[in-house]
Amino acid sequence: MQVHRFEKVWLGAAILLIVGFIATIAYGSVGVGVGMVDDTGGQISAEEVQNGNTGTQFDDPGVVKEDGQYVVYVVARQFQFSPGTGDTPIRVPAGENVTFKVTSADVVHGFSVVETNINTMVIPGQVSEVSARFNEPGTYGLICHEYCGAAHHTMGGSVEVVPPEEYDMQQENIDQSADDAQAQEEADQ
């Protein structure tokens, strides 16, 4: 059987293209350090998260300082991040390592901070953990990138990165307000 020279060229090009696609997929899945969500962040009962009685920081989510690092506990639920949505943006200091620990109270969500490498799936019953460093102050968008229901398109929020001295001053004001509220409560009793 005679194969024309141009058919051989096109056959060779097609095989080369297929091998190139397979090599690209193999490199993208193992070569650049991209990994799937796993349970290294831990597991947690989604029902307890929904009811707010996990006995963990997820009962009162927010920014805390643990072992010299800032850790942000976030609960994703239809159709909001707590904190992060509306009048409660996530505030973190610039120039610090920040670890986000995120879990879901209901369905699968996404957690992506725009213009950063923070992007993970949030699965009920698991704690997703991702770390980053924000060097520049500014406001970053926070979006859910996994379809989570009819109002999915409204699920967003923000991460505010502020200068360290401004962050410290805000924390002192928050702590003072909490102390004043506790003192008032004790005085009322």
Please state the φ and ψ torsions of residue 23, each to the nearest 5 degrees: -65, -40
What does each C-alpha distance from 136 to 63, 92, 139, 161, 163 come to in angstroms?
18, 11, 10, 7, 8
Name which of 26-30, 69-73, 85-89, 115-119 the model is least confident about.
26-30
The average confidence (pLDDT) of the chain is 89
The band of 94, judged by pLDDT with boundaries at 50, 70 and 90, is: very high
pLDDT of residue 35: 63
Pick the closest to residue 111 from 137, 85, 136 (CA basis). Answer: 85
pLDDT of residue 172: 74
pLDDT of residue 183: 72
Query: Helices in the chain by DSSP H: which ranges?
Result: 5-30, 46-51, 164-188
C-beta of residue 156 within 8 angstroms of C-beta of residue 143:
yes
**Residues 102, 110: Cα–Cα separation, whole Å:** 10
C-alpha dihedral sign at 5, 6, 9, 15: negative
**Residues 35, 67: Cα–Cα separation, whole Å:** 26
pLDDT of residue 170: 80
Give per-residue pLDDT as tens, 17-58.
Answer: 999 999 998 888 777 666 665 667 788 999 999 999 999 999
pLDDT of residue 186: 78
Give per-residue pLDDT as tens, 169-187.
Answer: 887 776 676 667 677 777 7
Determine the 3-state secondary structure of 103 from DSSP.
strand
Both tokens of 157, joined, read 């929020």
* Fold assignment, 44-178: Immunoglobulin-like (2.60.40)
